[in-house]
Structure 1
Amino acid sequence: MGRADASSIFDRVADALIAENAADTLKRNVLGPLIDALRDADWDTWGESRERYANDLVIAELFAKLGHEIDGNGVYGEIDFADSAWSLRCSRHGLVGGGTDTPGEHDRLVRLWAQHDHELHGGDGAVDTDVLIDPQAVID
């Protein structure tokens, strides 16, 4: 059975850190282990907190590091974080790309997925902005 109340625990801590203008390092050091502990306790509503704090770049990054799938045209891309690096895998082609431990590299892989899906699977090439860590970032 999942823990629906875990979001209220996470949200209270996140709100307190945000209200105090906590440094990014402090937010990472507090919220990262809290996310891990709540997920280990079967936090089944974590997506709601992910959406609630999507505009906080540190919190968005912490949730992105849990890994996620991106739909494609009959396939899917999977972005994972392990050993301080991002990876993008295609359900049909395997490893598509990787990147270092930065939000920009994560978002580059999300965009790479849209390109890969378009070129190799006939997808529309649209970037799923809901999974970007920083959708406002300017692309070079």
Structure 2
Amino acid sequence: MTRLDPGVRDAMVAFGAAAKKGLGDPVLAELVMIRASQINECAFCLDMHVDVAVEKNGESAKRIALLNAWREAGELFSERERAALALTEAMTVLTGGASHASGAGEGFVPDEAYEGAAKLFSEVELAHLIGAITVINSWNRLMVSRRIEPGGPAW
């Protein structure tokens, strides 16, 4: 296992804190963190963010259990949460559209996912949502590539 340079760690922590703070909704922020971590199969981040969601923010076990099937969960997730989760999935997988280089016009994040979030979040909130999705995907890649197990030392 390689150690994470303190400068990289501190920058990632600061980026994540700023993005989550700007969202203003800690439950939504944790749902985004958990959903991206599910897709990326990051056990370390799943363990940490499920704990934060449940223990610190009072999220229900039912919603956590159904997060992987949020589209089919009906009104269990709010319209804003569903829009944030759709954008999270689009940004995490990055295979929804054609590349700009191909000349096809649509970027990797489908317009539908971006526009759905843009309708429900202010410009500032949307910037923070995109930042939060970006940072959790970065953390997932760092932890998975370093083989960090749940509860293991992250640094």
- TM-score where L is the length of structure 1: 0.28
Higher relative contact order (CA 8 A, sep 6+): 2
Higher strand share: 1
Higher helix share: 2
- TM-score where L is the length of structure 2: 0.26
